[in-house]
Chain A
Amino acid sequence: MSFDRPKEILKPVKRRIIFLSFALAILFELLPLPQEAQAWLPDFTGLLVLYWVINQPRRVGIGTSFSVGILADIASAGLFGQHALAYSVTSFLALLRQRQLVMFNLGQQALSVLGLMLINQFIMVVARMLTGSAFAGWSYFLPPLTGALLWPLITKLLLLPYRNMD
């Protein structure tokens, strides 16, 4: 076992925390940000989908990922279905290896997340190019990298409400 996984017994995850986290991620998507920031900021919605799929596979499965993807599609004013498709596929891949992924330490998890997020972006690029958009440039694959770097932080943050503080 690794050092950086919490060993204390955690409180059960509340459903409303999951809802709240997704709502915040979608709101973040709506924020008017400068072009330069958008180029490297990770897809927080996608990261959250992966986090909950890995840590709460009974609550958040492929169906939830799909619905969150639809919301992300609307928020990002892209094509309907591009995020939904990408999130469903990556959460399926994460579910296949879910029992392995929870045993990983945060570094290993971050690496897997990097791979999954890259698959996410790749699916979206392919979907958009097949429907006639221009290639958005290689910088489109930068956000997964920053996302993977932020993964340990996100994990720690999302665990905060479940620590028994006594």
Chain B
Amino acid sequence: MDFANNPSFIRQGPSPAARLALCAALSVTLLISDSQFGLMEQVRQGLSVAFYPLQRAVNMPVTAARAVSDFFTTQASLQADNNALRNRHLAMAARLQRLETLEHDYETLRQLNHLKSARRDAGELAEVLYTGRDPFSYKIIIDKGEDAKLRPGQPVVDEQGLIGQVTRVQPLTAEVTLVVDKTLMIPVMLQRTGARAILYGYGGGVDVRYLPVHADVQSGDLFVTSGIDGLYPEGIPVARISRVDRNGDTAFIRLAAVPVAGVQRGRYVMVLDEKAHVPARPAEPPPPAPKAKKKSAEDEDN
């Protein structure tokens, strides 16, 4: 640093401008290597382990407050909860009975059709540690990671529906990208009609594009995962249509949809196992002859 009261012959290292140039160059390199090539994954993993006790420590007051409020819950509210839960349990049990019958029928039908049955997977229960502070992406950090054998790509749900997908696994924690994030696309279908579509997150909400104007959709319809990508198991509720806008000018319907799951709230989530092994894609059909010829000619040129 140069100051007016320093004699000019006392050098204090490189000038601020030079330092800035160095630091800016470094940060731009970091930015590019992180966003384009993901070169910093290893560093991030190591650092996340170092940060883990800190995260736990700053979470402690919150956890303690929860514990205290749990302790002072009155008996009346407990009883009310208990009753509600018992009722719910009865209703659920009835539904489960029906579901089991249906599942059995379904299995039989599938086997009749000589189809492999889809595996019903258990999941890993995880607690949300904190939401990412980064306002540009919608992510949550959960308290299970490599220690629970999580892998990137596993779907994450809560009791209402799909929340997102595990995108980055660190030794003790994992990052879940929420369905409202701009980078997530989910193949869905309309539960009522079975029409397939793709649900795009746009940063803060979800959006269904490219449904033709005359498609049969109503507000209140539910989008569930279609399961055709081999990643999300089929039938998980994702979003509900809140408004349908059929504008004659465009070829597509404009739909406003809201995620059904507690995407930005809730404490516990379930990380599902990936879908059962999907057979590999059939090989591409051989390209038509003239094209192949042209390509081989090009190869010879090169």
Contact = CB atoms under 8 A, between A and B. Distances in A.
Contact of B55 (A30, A39, A58, A78): A30
A88 B31 contact: no
B1 A58 contact: yes
A136 interface: yes
Interface of A: 27, 29-32, 35, 38-39, 57-58, 61-63, 65-66, 69-70, 74-82, 84-85, 88-89, 92, 95-96, 99, 127-128, 131-137, 140
B27 A77 contact: no
Contacts of A140: 135
A85 B28 contact: yes
A66 B19 CA distance: 10
Nearest to A140: B135
Contact of B31 (A27, A31, A82): A82
Nearest to B19: A62
A135 B20 CA distance: 27
Contact of A80 (B4, B30, B131, B133): B30
Interface of B: 1, 3-4, 16-17, 19-20, 23-24, 26-36, 40, 43-44, 47-48, 51, 54-55, 57-59, 62, 129-137, 139, 141, 175, 182, 202-204, 264
A42 B112 CA distance: 63
A76 B26 contact: no
By DSSP majority rule, is chain B's interface helix, strand, loop, or mixed? helix
A69 B133 CA distance: 14
11 contacts: A31-B58, A35-B131, A63-B19, A76-B133, A77-B133, A78-B132, A81-B26, A95-B1, A132-B35, A133-B136, A137-B135
B136 A89 contact: no
Contact of B29 (A39, A62, A81, A82): A81
B34 A88 contact: no
Contact of A66 (B27, B51, B202): B27
A84 B141 CA distance: 22
B58 A136 contact: no
A62 B35 contact: no
A30 B55 CA distance: 6
Contacts of B30: 70, 80-81, 84
Contact of B203 (A58, A77, A134): A134
